Amino acid sequence: MNQTESECLLLLNDPRKRSQAFSQLVRLYQERIYWHIRKMVLVHEDTNDVMQNTFMKAWNGLDGFRGESQFLTWLYRIATNETLTFLTSKRNKEQAQTDDRDLFLANNLHADPYFNGDELQLKLQKAILTLPEKQRLVFNMKYFDDLTYDSMEEILGTSTGALKASYHHAVKKIEKYFEENE
């Protein structure tokens, strides 16, 4: 826990300074939470919606934060739940077939002004979308955010062993996708 976070957490207990402290915490962690969500939902506008829900849920549920974990870990957990809920509702709206998983999410990535990736990076995003939801989370958190397995265990509530196996399977599936879609 860094000094700014611990100072903000102390101020959260003071009703007069609570919103000021929360505002500081938003500024401190918004980028990490944004990229965590964005790599799952891909589109900026959707990410923005899920971010709003995440931080407002955190604000309304501040009394539920008991300081047993880091504030960022707690935020990650809320963001993960919100993201999975969003994806479920989006899937229902799109009536996506189970065999193409969430590939529909990549449909507009080519034309997205906020995607600057090259062909291979686009192919990687499509490959990631073929993974089951939880495996996708694990892959993104490890490959892009380089989170430790311990942190991931706290956020996802899955054992380190299972996370390592999940990451290993994800890499294998992605390489197989590359091989089949060259």
> In the complex, which residues of this chain contact other proteins (CB under 8 A)?
15-16, 18-19, 22-23, 26-27, 30-31, 34-35, 38-39, 42, 44, 48, 51-52, 55-56, 59-60, 114-118, 120-125, 143-144, 171, 174-175, 178-179, 182
The angle formed by the CA atoms of residues 149, 79 and 32, to the nearest 5 degrees, is 65
In the complex, least distance from residue 97 CB atom to other proteins, rounded to whole angstroms: 26
**Angstrom distances, CA of residue 77 to CA of 69, 132, 137, 160:** 11, 18, 12, 17
Nearer residue to other proteins within complex by CB, 59 or 153: 59
Q: 73: closest CA among 173, 131, 148, 7?
A: 148
Q: Give the nearest distance from C-beta 95 to other proteins in angstroms.
A: 26
| CB of 47 or CB of 80, closer to other proteins | 47
CB of 133 to other proteins, least distance (A): 19
Nearer to other proteins, 55 or 76 (CB): 55
Q: What is the DSSP string of 22-54?
A: HHHHHHHHHHHHHHHHHHHH--HHHHHHHHHHH
Instruction: Decide if 45 contacts 91 (C-beta within 8 A).
Output: no
CB of 105 to other proteins, least distance (A): 13
Nearer to other proteins, 52 or 81 (CB): 52
User: Is the Cβ of residue 128 or residue 156 nearer to other proteins in the bound state?
Assistant: 128
Cα–Cα dist 6/19, whole Å? 15
